[in-house]
Chains A and B, each alone.
Chain A
């Protein structure tokens, strides 16, 4: 392995941050001068005003960052807590910047050094220092009950407290994945919680979260609302702008949209694709949404049933007409996928992937060739399980069934209830199912836990040790180009052996009424409200 200049990479990552900060500061000064006439120099605390009501239409399990499994929860958690690092977006690239940390440095490739901001306090008044950070990281790594995100810190050997505001994290191997492990996927391993509150509430912390974030938790009424209020002691100057935030918990997206249009609420944390046309036609709302780090796929059971035959899987993968799928199942809003790595992963995504010859796409002739090589030549009957409400809808399945009929596969669509769907998927009791992996920031989390031979989410049961090795190698090098090469090889194996037929990268939408100003969109399904104000 070639020598990697970690410092240089880090410097590059951070330069973006300082550049942006300077610009923002400049802009802020201009605004202050223009509106206040320059009479009051630097007001330290923001004047909070306004009560934002925003609909949340998906399940929220807990507000404990270390235990949640849902992005809808993280959207709220992120407004109450901070992490060591945070995700930022400049309109092109998603990067990581220090958040509670003032600086983040690499002493060597196995040691990350975090210097914390001074004087930051949790909402309960206790200090957020190195001890608190250590407490949080250990809670994830080895706490009781077990955090579902413990694996992200499995390589963490030791947490050394250098002084009350400085920590060194020693890893057993070089760990390029760290920023993603701290901030990525459907949990927040690197989010810092108040040790005093954890002590006080125990397993009920998720109903009484105490962080350092721009908003304090006030109440959570079941099936009704979660209320937050401004943290007037927040460490970022002039934030938050709002005095109160209410997340209105709703089941019906169409009711939420009606409430937005009638002015009863000011936004939606998630706007399903089928409602986007209506939002676009409504002049008093702003739609935010881009293709995010995700992919949808048709999963095939590699462990039992007809799809143990690789040629049959390949036939299916090449028989999926992605254009039709995008049009019919995703309302024309998604983008055809060729491999799992998605557009926002700018260091890894190939913008010319459509012509690169890599991945899977629709080619009926090729599909028929593979079908002809399959062991079973007569008509094959398979079960495709789908759930009406919950993880996936039924649109994709209904669009796919006739496509597979063309290659002699008769699809029996089986509509089951979401809980059963999850159970059967996890037990590998299916022939076909479709699903999506969402809000990924890095190729590692986008393919490794999903398709590693013993991976927790490898529900298709695909086994390929070469794939495992490539991903492992990529995990420990910091150089993007080198990682990219390894991930491309891994992806090629995955697409070629086809445990899944890849379908699309989806845009994830949020809507705010035109009264809402200053929302900073981040393509990781986040709804950070510290910069938001109401006109």
Chain B
């Protein structure tokens, strides 16, 4: 067990190292000069040189990387040159919770809508309902989320005036207002996943419903809902969780657009403005957090298997 855990941690560290070197290198290779961007159109050569030195950009690539890596590991993520704030506070304490909240809501929507829809489609296989849900799912996967976001804003926000069209309120501080603000962005980001989960649930459940233990349950005279929701759905939990873990990358990608459209101050917006402004430290921090998140979630997925499937539990 210990060996396994150490192996996992070692793997994680190697991945993080590769990610950090790649990001750092790519950023430096990308043309564009952060000092010029920060100074705008009016500046003197002296101002340019003084800022370059202040930012430490006059040193060699390796020195800059080593300096960054040593500080990063010690929890000193540096200062954002544009924002003039501590990157750890900005990225980890301010931006990350926003993105996590958005991701949490989208996933919740996706599961709460996608699973029942998929189950119903499987049960009512080859009916009009099934066909309708297939069309819905196909549209959902094909529809670009930013366009959907704008349409939702104009219909539900402006025309009907039901929901706020922008802004973030932390659900930890003001629960209902927070949720209220998350409904449109959450829906926007979740459409793709609702569709995906619906299709996946339907396909897996149809397969599961052919299994002998379902027939056995029916033969025991268990009520129909129990057969489907307990015996059936429990057995599709594993493929569902696996796919969701792997699709987390897609979800995080989606937050970039969703955050921009709904003006949420999360990691996506942070990364976009940092890349455009060549804020090396901020980009680096954003990518590292994303990588950690990805690794962390997939670790959780691994850990959840024994819970979902008793056969995988250690028998001692």
What are 12 sample pairs from A and B whose C-beta atoms fall under 8 A apart?
A: A145-B51, A148-B39, A223-B269, A223-B270, A224-B265, A251-B260, A259-B165, A262-B157, A262-B165, A264-B166, A420-B32, A457-B42
Shortest Cβ distance from residue B219 to the other chain A in the assembled complex, whole angstroms: 57
Does B207 lie at the interface of the complex (its beta carbon under 8 Å from any beta carbon of A)? no
Q: CB < 8 Å: which of B30, B42, B165, B168 contacts A264? A: B165
Shortest Cβ distance from residue A279 to the other chain B in the assembled complex, whole angstroms: 13
Does A255 lie at the interface of the complex (its beta carbon under 8 Å from any beta carbon of B)? yes
Q: CB < 8 Å: which of A186, A203, A423 contacts B41? A: A186
User: When chains A and B are docked, how far (Å) is the Cα of A426 from the Cα of B45?
Assistant: 12
Q: With A61-B38, A187-B42, A250-B166 known to touch, is A146 a contact of B84 (CB < 8 Å)?
A: no
Q: Are B265 and A456 in contact (CB under 8 A)?
A: no
Chain A residues within 8 Å of B276, by CB: 389-390, 417-419
Q: CB < 8 Å: which of B54, B84, B277 contacts A419? A: B277
Does B211 lie at the interface of the complex (its beta carbon under 8 Å from any beta carbon of A)? no
Chain B residues within 8 Å of A70, by CB: 40
Chain B residues within 8 Å of A69, by CB: 38-43
Does A166 lie at the interface of the complex (its beta carbon under 8 Å from any beta carbon of B)? no
Interface residues of B in 240-295 (CB under 8 A from A): 260-263, 265-266, 269-270, 272-273, 276-278
Shortest Cβ distance from residue A22 to the other chain B in the assembled complex, whole angstroms: 38
Does A111 lie at the interface of the complex (its beta carbon under 8 Å from any beta carbon of B)? no
> With contacts A255-B150, A420-B30, A420-B32 known, what are 10 further pairs, Cβ within 8 A?
A59-B277, A62-B82, A146-B46, A147-B47, A151-B44, A258-B154, A258-B165, A262-B161, A418-B32, A419-B34
Chain B residues within 8 Å of A149, by CB: 42
User: When chains A and B are docked, how far (Å) is the Cα of A149 from the Cα of B42?
Assistant: 7
Chain A residues within 8 Å of B161, by CB: 262-263
Interface residues of B in 216-238 (CB under 8 A from A): none
Q: Are B153 and A423 in contact (CB under 8 A)?
A: no
Does A221 lie at the interface of the complex (its beta carbon under 8 Å from any beta carbon of B)? yes
Does B138 lie at the interface of the complex (its beta carbon under 8 Å from any beta carbon of A)? no
Does A410 lie at the interface of the complex (its beta carbon under 8 Å from any beta carbon of B)? no
Does A204 lie at the interface of the complex (its beta carbon under 8 Å from any beta carbon of B)? yes
Does A254 lie at the interface of the complex (its beta carbon under 8 Å from any beta carbon of B)? yes
Chain B residues within 8 Å of A352, by CB: none
Q: CB < 8 Å: which of A59, A144, A221, A261 contacts B94? A: A221
Does B75 lie at the interface of the complex (its beta carbon under 8 Å from any beta carbon of A)? no
Does B109 lie at the interface of the complex (its beta carbon under 8 Å from any beta carbon of A)? no
Q: Are A423 and B33 in contact (CB under 8 A)?
A: yes
Q: Are A258 and B36 in contact (CB under 8 A)?
A: no
Interface residues of B in 152-209 (CB under 8 A from A): 153-154, 157-158, 161, 164-168
Does A277 lie at the interface of the complex (its beta carbon under 8 Å from any beta carbon of B)? no
Q: Are B263 and A255 in contact (CB under 8 A)?
A: yes
Shortest Cβ distance from residue B49 to the other chain A in the assembled complex, whole angstroms: 9
Q: With A252-B261, A262-B157, A449-B42 known to touch, is A422 a contact of B32 (CB < 8 Å)?
A: yes
Does A3 lie at the interface of the complex (its beta carbon under 8 Å from any beta carbon of B)? no
Does A32 lie at the interface of the complex (its beta carbon under 8 Å from any beta carbon of B)? no
Does A248 lie at the interface of the complex (its beta carbon under 8 Å from any beta carbon of B)? yes
User: When chains A and B are docked, how far (Å) is the Cα of A222 from the Cα of B278?
Assistant: 16
Per-position binary interface string of chain A over residues 113-156, scored 1 when its CB falls under 8 Å from any chain B CB and 0 otherwise: 00000000000000000000000000000001111111100000
Shortest Cβ distance from residue A262 to the other chain B in the assembled complex, whole angstroms: 5
Does B37 lie at the interface of the complex (its beta carbon under 8 Å from any beta carbon of A)? yes
**Residue of B whose beta carbon sits closest to that of A416:** B31
User: When chains A and B are docked, how far (Å) is the Cα of A203 from the Cα of B51?
Assistant: 11
Does A68 lie at the interface of the complex (its beta carbon under 8 Å from any beta carbon of B)? yes
Does A336 lie at the interface of the complex (its beta carbon under 8 Å from any beta carbon of B)? no
Chain A residues within 8 Å of B165, by CB: 255, 258-259, 262, 264
Does A342 lie at the interface of the complex (its beta carbon under 8 Å from any beta carbon of B)? no
Interface residues on B, range: 35 or more
Does A174 lie at the interface of the complex (its beta carbon under 8 Å from any beta carbon of B)? no
Q: Are B42 and A456 in contact (CB under 8 A)?
A: yes
Does A110 lie at the interface of the complex (its beta carbon under 8 Å from any beta carbon of B)? no
Chain A residues within 8 Å of B94, by CB: 221-222
**Residue of B whose beta carbon sits closest to that of A459:** B41
Chain A residues within 8 Å of B11, by CB: none
User: When chains A and B are docked, how far (Å) is the Cα of A252 from the Cα of B256?
Assistant: 13
Does B64 lie at the interface of the complex (its beta carbon under 8 Å from any beta carbon of A)? no
The 9 closest A-B pairs by CB, nearest first: A69-B40, A419-B32, A148-B43, A224-B265, A223-B265, A146-B47, A420-B31, A207-B84, A223-B269
Q: Are A262 and B47 in contact (CB under 8 A)?
A: no
User: When chains A and B are docked, how far (Å) is the Cα of A205 from the Cα of B163?
Assistant: 38
Q: Are B42 and A206 in contact (CB under 8 A)?
A: no
Per-position binary interface string of chain A over residues 295-332, scored 1 when its CB falls under 8 Å from any chain B CB and 0 otherwise: 00000000000000000000000000000000000000
Chain A residues within 8 Å of B167, by CB: 248, 259, 264
Per-position binary interface string of chain A over residues 446-461, scored 1 when its CB falls under 8 Å from any chain B CB and 0 otherwise: 0001000000110000
User: When chains A and B are docked, how far (Å) is the Cα of A150 from the Cα of B39?
Assistant: 13
Does A513 lie at the interface of the complex (its beta carbon under 8 Å from any beta carbon of B)? no
User: When chains A and B are docked, how far (Å) is the Cα of A449 from the Cα of B50?
Assistant: 22
User: When chains A and B are docked, how far (Å) is the Cα of A251 from the Cα of B259?
Assistant: 10
Does A185 lie at the interface of the complex (its beta carbon under 8 Å from any beta carbon of B)? yes
Chain B residues within 8 Å of A248, by CB: 166-167, 263
**Residue of A whose beta carbon sits closest to that of B79:** A204
User: When chains A and B are docked, how far (Å) is the Cα of A289 from the Cα of B144?
Assistant: 34
Shortest Cβ distance from residue B148 to the other chain A in the assembled complex, whole angstroms: 14
Chain A residues within 8 Å of B304, by CB: none
Chain B residues within 8 Å of A204, by CB: 84
User: When chains A and B are docked, how far (Å) is the Cα of A146 from the Cα of B53?
Assistant: 12
Q: Are A148 and B37 in contact (CB under 8 A)?
A: no
Q: Are B85 and A251 in contact (CB under 8 A)?
A: no
Shortest Cβ distance from residue A190 to the other chain B in the assembled complex, whole angstroms: 15
**Residue of A whose beta carbon sits closest to that of B53:** A145
Shortest Cβ distance from residue A274 to the other chain B in the assembled complex, whole angstroms: 14
Q: With A224-B168, A419-B276, A419-B277 known to touch, is A255 a contact of B43 (CB < 8 Å)?
A: no
Q: CB < 8 Å: which of B36, B42, B263, B277 contacts A252? A: B263
Chain A residues within 8 Å of B70, by CB: none
Chain B residues within 8 Å of A262, by CB: 157-158, 161, 164-165
Per-position binary interface string of chain B over residues 123-161, scored 1 when its CB falls under 8 Å from any chain A CB and 0 otherwise: 000000000000000000000000000100110011001
Interface residues of A in 82-111 (CB under 8 A from B): none
Q: Are A145 and B54 in contact (CB under 8 A)?
A: yes
Q: Are A150 and B263 in contact (CB under 8 A)?
A: no
Q: CB < 8 Å: which of B158, B164, B168, B263 contacts A251? A: B263
User: When chains A and B are docked, how far (Å) is the Cα of A424 from the Cα of B266?
Assistant: 31
Chain A residues within 8 Å of B150, by CB: 254-255
Q: With A221-B94, A251-B269, A258-B158 known to touch, is A61 a contact of B36 (CB < 8 Å)?
A: no
Chain B residues within 8 Å of A456, by CB: 42-44
User: When chains A and B are docked, how far (Å) is the Cα of A221 from the Cα of B161?
Assistant: 27
Does B95 lie at the interface of the complex (its beta carbon under 8 Å from any beta carbon of A)? yes
Q: Are A419 and B166 in contact (CB under 8 A)?
A: no
User: When chains A and B are docked, how far (Å) is the Cα of A254 from the Cα of B44?
Assistant: 36
Q: Are B278 and A148 in contact (CB under 8 A)?
A: no
Q: Are A423 and B42 in contact (CB under 8 A)?
A: no
User: When chains A and B are docked, how far (Å) is the Cα of A417 from the Cα of B29?
Assistant: 14
Shortest Cβ distance from residue A300 to the other chain B in the assembled complex, whole angstroms: 18
Q: Are A61 and B82 in contact (CB under 8 A)?
A: yes
Does B90 lie at the interface of the complex (its beta carbon under 8 Å from any beta carbon of A)? yes
User: When chains A and B are docked, how far (Å) is the Cα of A63 from the Cα of B157?
Assistant: 32
User: When chains A and B are docked, how far (Å) is the Cα of A417 from the Cα of B30?
Assistant: 10
Chain B residues within 8 Å of A187, by CB: 42
Q: With A61-B82, A262-B158 known to touch, is A417 a contact of B32 (CB < 8 Å)?
A: yes
Shortest Cβ distance from residue A522 to the other chain B in the assembled complex, whole angstroms: 21
